[in-house]
Structure 1
Amino acid sequence: MDKDTISINIQKKLEKLSTFTATPGHGCTRLPFTKEARQAADFIKTLMAESGLKVNEDQAGNVIGVLEGEDTQAPALVVGSHYDTVINGGNFDGLAGIVAGIEIAHLLKENGVQLKRNFIVVGFCDEEGMRFGTGYFGSKAMLGQITLEDLHQYKDKDNVSVYKAIQEYGLVPEDVLKAKQDLSKIKAFIEVHIEQGPVLDQKKVEIGLVECIVGIQRFIVTVHGRADHAGTTPMDMRIDAVAAATKVISKIPDWAREKGDGTVVTTGFVKVLPGGMNIIAEEVQFSIDIRSRNNDNINDIVAKIRAELDKACKANGASWEMHNKLTIEPVDLSENMLSMLQKSCETHGYSWQRMPSGAGHDALAIGQSIDTVMVFVPSKDGRSHCPVEWTEYADIAKAVTIIYDLIVDMQ
């Protein structure tokens, strides 16, 4: 197994995939059910076919390649990640895991290895949730956790629903339910991913073996006030949506710090209407993203936010509503597969460490139902979700090497 050749193959694939972006020269922007997503999905199909995989695309936009084993009815081994990106993101997040899976399939064919069971590579659609504010769309569809109501309910900033976006993409929304997989036919799921943090890079560790992934809850909060003149309305007669919303937003980070356990909370989106400098705000929308290894920490912070919204809004006559966009519990990953990967690292002389994942991944959704493990590779300076995101291709090749071993040992 020539690691230099593997590295070069990975580089060629990722460099081509990076060209499918809505923001050339300003990072990679590939939102779900867009022209760029279609280009990437079609290229992934080509790569899969070239590596000997039988390819199809389900109605949720997931691209699936199957390398058939001796017993096609035996529970399969699945490797995958996502092909969508954030806005002005990088070229490695998600795609590194898909390309790694395709390279493993290529190596199995090249080495004449026919597994006893099917080996499947999946490129998931819409893990990030950037367009519709949800996340894990493709993986949840495969788990049977997407409904037709969801497709109508969730909309992008232009008020385009998931339902309409799927139609415009050339798929049939009603058939998204057909993406559900029989989970008894999947033995294990493995995901390769860049770390998206600084730990491995700073410690000069080659491989991160992920032992748990944090839970996530996401919300959109809307505070309703009343638009009035900024100069003629006395302070004690205002129903100012900004005044109420900011009282709550300013307290949320401290609640996360108090919890510990790696608990983090982010308000990354704020929208004020009408948005004029001389108009008291009629409405404020803001997002909340809460993550923790301990689900009780998340629920406690949600309760504090609701109580504080009540208090802040009652003080000036405003009102509020809070809509859940995503709830997914923390998951512990497979100890058996972690031990096997650890042994492989030692065999190949790769440095490794066990670690949690503070970012959510398709492995978080799938790990709720299927035996799952993740492998991290270093992110230069810990940077991700930005144009300077970088991982050495040779590091991805190391992950391919140990997962290849895992696949062969688990067949």
Structure 2
Amino acid sequence: MWRELLPVGRHPDSHGYRRFAWTPADADCRGWFEEQAVARGLRHEVDRNGNQWAWAGDPALGDAVVTGSHLDSVPDGGAFDGPLGVVSSFAALDELLRRGVPLDRPLGIVNFGDEEGARFGLACVGSRLTAGRLSPEDAHRLTDGDGVTLPRAMEAAGHDPGSIGADPERLARIGAFVELHVEQGRALDLSGDAVGIASAIWPHGRWRFDFRGEANHAGTTRLADRRDPMLPYAETVLAARRAALLHRAVATFGKIAVEPNGVNAVPSLVRGWLDSRAAEQDDLDAVVGEIQDTARSYAEAHGVALDVTRESFTPVVEFDHALRDEIGRILGRDTDLTVPVLGTGAGHDAGILSGSVPTAMLFVRNPTGVSHSPAESAAEDDCVAGVLALADVLEGLIRA
């Protein structure tokens, strides 16, 4: 399975993945998912929000155990973020069948659409819509960098956008959702463990900073006469680093758009996107507040206007304690693994669903800690350990 999926959406120059929502690469990933479902005799379906499901048993019976993740990527992302969870889900099902485990509860595997938000700027669109965390009206306003709206992109890919929205009936059938994911950090590598259990997802969000100045000629405009928005933007990037260090948080300006974007032109607009996360809400509020205050001071000093827009926000997610403890008992009883519990600064579909169904996460060791990059990796032995741990968890939950 892994070898079949590896070439899909891989860029020949960067060797990273560009599997963006509702593109041909995304369609190829979806086709791969359906092939895996059909090959196992599973019932394959696409819900109103474009998420794919593969079912062993009838989900209408309720109390289903579901696993899975996503197949899309960030720009030039790695091979493991998302796909490891989907591939491992099919492999874990194979392991359950090999063991002869009776599926006394419906078992589902899901591929959530547009988890990374690389194309339309909002993460976890598929799961947000399903959980009612994103309204159809707001979803219809999402636009990519080429001005293509989400509905247009869905239509072009053969999906009807007219039916998107909350799907409480589907979620009500799920008794537990467990997502396996490559760790996006080095906690497991430092502890020497192959697999871990998630405790919580840090609060996090995205903010857009629009610095508006005055376009002018780069060669003839005196420095003293300029209203250059690039200057306060650059100073804000450095201020974000200082604020994050002070409050034990992370803050990243990783995306920028410039107008008119000419080498010999003073910009009229510099638009930068801030991603910030922290273990505690108070720390996140403090770091983002300081960044905004500092940005306004710099903008004023350079005669530049500033607008700040919060584009998305997810509060702290504490995974279901009872489910987390049960998974710990299953793995502690049935395996020789040491399975630490650790928090994460990365958002996931499991976090979005946590307000609607009991959710949990397993992490697989990432030896470099690198993520959202072609250097992202996991050893085969650790991936196998993750599959077996997921199979043990699913078996334990099905028999519970």
Give TM-score scaled by structure 1 length.
0.90
Alpha-carbon distance change, 48 to 149 in structure 1, aligned in 2, over 3 angstroms: same
Equivalent residue, structure 1, for 2:164: 176
CA distance in 2, matches of 1:74, 1:367: 17
Q: Structure 2 regions of 5+ residues with no counterpart?
A: none
Amino acid at match of 1:49: V
Equivalent residue, structure 2, for 1:288: 274
CA distance in 2, matches of 1:375, 1:197: 14
Which of 20, 23, 40 pairs up with 1:31? Answer: 20
Contact 2:76 2:373 in 1 (8 A): yes
* TM alignment of 1:23-102, pairs within 5 A: 23-24=11-12, 26-68=15-57, 72-102=60-90
Contact 1:53 1:105 in 2 (8 A): no
CA distance in 2, matches of 1:179, 1:45: 21
**CA deviation profile, 1:30-81 (whole Å, cap 9, x unmatched):** 1110101111111111112222321101232211011116x84232111110
Which of 189, 207, 210 pairs up with 2:195? Answer: 207
CA distance in 2, matches of 1:246, 1:396: 41
Amino acid at match of 2:210: T
Secondary structure at 2:9's aligned position in 1?
Answer: coil
Number of residues paired by the alignment? 396
Secondary structure at 2:197's aligned position in 1?
Answer: strand
CA distance in 2, matches of 1:247, 1:178: 41
Alpha-carbon distance change, 36 to 277 in structure 1, aligned in 2, over 3 angstroms: closer
Equivalent residue, structure 2, for 1:270: 256
Equivalent residue, structure 2, for 1:133: 121
Equivalent residue, structure 2, for 1:221: 209
Q: Give how far 1:181 is off.
A: 4.5
Equivalent residue, structure 1, for 2:313: 327
Q: Give how far 1:214 is off.
A: 1.1
Contact 1:62 1:122 in 2 (8 A): yes
Amino acid at match of 1:64: W
Matched, 1:363 2:347: no
Q: Give how far 1:335 is off.
A: 2.7
CA distance in 2, matches of 1:141, 1:148: 7
Q: Structure 1 regions of 5+ residues with no counterpart?
A: 1-12
CA distance in 2, matches of 1:153, 1:303: 27
Q: Give how far 1:193 is off.
A: 0.5
Q: Give how far 1:191 is off.
A: 0.6
Contact 1:210 1:355 in 2 (8 A): yes
**CA deviation profile, 1:208-237 (whole Å, cap 9, x unmatched):** 111111121102211110012234333333
**CA deviation profile, 1:294-322 (whole Å, cap 9, x unmatched):** 12222233322332333222223321222
* TM alignment of 1:342-353, pairs within 5 A: 342-346=328-332, 347-353=334-340
CA distance in 2, matches of 1:56, 1:184: 17
CA distance in 1, matches of 2:206, 2:198: 23
Superposed structure 1 runs of 4+ greater than 4 Å apart: 178-182
* TM alignment of 1:287-326, pairs within 5 A: 287-326=273-312
Between 1:198-207 and 1:175-184, the stretch displaced more is 175-184
Give TM-score scaled by structure 2 length.
0.92
Alpha-carbon distance change, 74 to 61 in structure 1, aligned in 2, over 3 angstroms: closer
Secondary structure at 2:295's aligned position in 1?
Answer: helix
Query: What is the RMSD computed on CA atoms of the aligned residues?
Result: 2.1
Contact 2:331 2:392 in 1 (8 A): no
Equivalent residue, structure 1, for 2:182: 194
CA distance in 1, matches of 2:200, 2:219: 53
**CA deviation profile, 1:212-269 (whole Å, cap 9, x unmatched):** 1112110221111001223433333321111222232221111111112xx2111101
Alpha-carbon distance change, 292 to 317 in structure 1, aligned in 2, over 3 angstroms: same
Percent identical across equivalent pairs?
28
Q: Give how far 1:182 is off.
A: 4.2
Secondary structure at 2:75's aligned position in 1?
Answer: coil
Secondary structure at 1:356's aligned position in 2?
Answer: strand
Secondary structure at 1:193's aligned position in 2?
Answer: strand
Alpha-carbon distance change, 301 to 181 in structure 1, aligned in 2, over 3 angstroms: farther
Secondary structure at 2:138's aligned position in 1?
Answer: helix
Equivalent residue, structure 1, for 2:224: 236
Contact 1:267 1:287 in 2 (8 A): yes
Q: Give how far 1:22 is off.
A: 4.8
